[in-house]
Structure 1
Amino acid sequence: MNQQQLFEQIQKKRSFLCVGLDTDIQKIPQHLLDTSDPMFSFNKEIIDATAEFTVAYKPNLAFYESQGSAGIVSLEKTVSYVKSKYPNIFIIADAKRGDIGNTSNLYARAFFGKQKYDAVTVAPYMGEDSVKPFMTYPEKWVILLALTSNQGAYDFQFIENKENGEKLFETVLKTSQKWGTEENLMYVVGATKAEKLKEIREIVPNHFLLVPGVGAQGGSLQEVAHNGLNRKCGLLVNSSRGIIYASSDVDFADQAKAAAKKVQQEMEVLLAEANLI
Structure 2
Amino acid sequence: MMLKGRSVVAIAACVLALHAAALWALHAGLASRKPDVVVPVQMLARLVEPPRPIAPVPPPPVTQQATVPRPTPPAAKPRPVPARPKPVARTSAMPKPAPPTPTPPKPTPMPAPTPAPAPLPVVTEATTTPAVPVATAAHASGKAVAPGTAVDPAPAPAAATAIAAAAPARPAPAPIELPSSDAQYLQNPRPRYPPISVRLREQGTVLVDVLVSDQGLAREARVQTSSGFFRLDNAAVSTVLTWRFVPGKRAGVAQSMWFTVPITFAIQ
Same fold per TM (> 0.5)? no
Mark the structure with the bigger radius of gyration: 2
**Structure with the larger helix share:** 1
